[in-house]
Structure 1
Amino acid sequence: MKNRMKLPKAELEHLFYIEVDLHQNLYEIGDVGRGDLVICPIAGGRFEGKITGEVLNFGADWNLMYPNYLNCVDTRYLLKTDDGALISLTTIGRAVIKPEQDEAMERGEYVDPADYYFRQHLLFETGDERYDWINGACCFGVLGCKDEWTIVYDAYMVK
């Protein structure tokens, strides 16, 4: 390509590691015409790293599960930093977990996150000036299922 503009290299900064606990009462909405919709309320959790704090008992994961093992995940939840800032977190992502892997997790067996695909785009919003920098950040998460009711991930910001 002629006159290609030189762009800065993308670099990643690790923001935090998070463990999100789900309530064990799922809401199975059923087939909504695009797939099966299941809503999993957020029970709480903790995150540590560049920012540290707790996941409040607020929000949920909306999971649209297609028959080809594709799971479209859409979540909203609330973070509270140890220094008192409230940060809204909205995610949208994809998980491809085969039925035998899902069944193993339901039995309480560990399934290596390297053996399935689970990634999310992370959108942070806050009115706290100390964390204003995160409002404009492009962020993503590399996720895994610690157990049937705990989602974990490393959150990164593209610099």
Structure 2
Amino acid sequence: MKERMKLPEAALEHLFYIEVTLHKEEYKVGDVGRGDLVICPISGGRFEGEKLRGQVLDFGADWNLMYPSYLNCVDTRYLLKTDDGALISLSTVGRAAIKPEQDAAMERGEYVDPDDYYFRQHLLFETGDPRYQWLNAACCFAVIGIKDMQTIVYDAYMVK
């Protein structure tokens, strides 16, 4: 191999903490050939960070493809509105690996420590607001926890 090119060190910047509330009703589409598809509509929420804060609008949903092995592939669409009026579309793609006993405990309303399961997502932001267009080019991800069956929380980070 030729001489390696020196690249910048990767660093993380915390963007915000978010709590997303789901409607109680979910839509069980059923086995779509790769797993069971369940769609959970978003009812709202709030996000706060140093550079942006605001609300999650009652718009969008989580599309969860649940494999028999309890691997959950999650695709979501959110609409964020910052406190200063900007609209930001947020799309996510991620994976959750939650054991059957953990899932059953959550269904019973019991708290399961996020350190005990794996739930991560890639975040894609899109906005036309000039104040936040820096997000359009950002590589971002989230570390996620399930607060209860209607509340998903996460810390969003940007790779610098």
TM bin, normalised by shorter chain, reads over 0.9
Paired letter, 1:113: P
Q: Please state how far the C-alpha of 1:10 moved relative to its aligned partner.
A: 0.4
Matches of 2:108 and 2:86, distance apart in 1: 37
Distance 2:78 2:134 in 1: 19
The AA in structure 2 aligned to 1:115 is D
Distance 1:89 1:79 in 2: 7
- Partner in structure 2 of residue 11 of structure 1: 11
Where does the alignment leave 5 or more consecutive residues of structure 2 unmatched? none
- SS at structure 1 position matched to 2:137: coil
1:103 Cα shift? Answer: 1.0
The runs of at least 4 consecutive aligned structure 1 residues that moved more than 6 Å come to none
Q: Identify the residue that residue 61 of structure 1 maps to in structure 2.
A: 62
For 1:135, what is the secondary structure of its paired residue? helix
Root-mean-square deviation (CA, aligned residues, Å) is: 0.6
User: Following the alignment from structure 1 to structure 2, what is the Cα–Cα distance between the partners of residues 41 and 22?
Assistant: 6
TM-aligned CA deviation for residue 106 of structure 1: 1.2
Partner of 1:105: 106
Paired residue for 1:44? 44
Q: Specify the code of the residue in structure 2 equivalent to 1:127.
A: G
CA distance in 2, matches of 1:46, 1:131: 17
Q: CA deviation at 1:2?
A: 2.7
CA distance in 2, matches of 1:23, 1:129: 32
TM-score, normalised to structure 1's length? 0.99
Q: CA deviation at 1:20?
A: 0.3
- Match of 2:155, as an amino acid? D
TM-superposition CA deviations, 1:33-82 (whole Å, max 9, x none):
00000000000000000210000000000000000110000000100000
Distance 2:141 2:74 in 1: 13
Q: Unmatched 5+ residue regions in structure 1?
A: none
Alpha-carbon distance in structure 2 between the residues aligned to 1:117 and 1:47:
22
Specify the code of the residue in structure 2 equivalent to 1:152: V
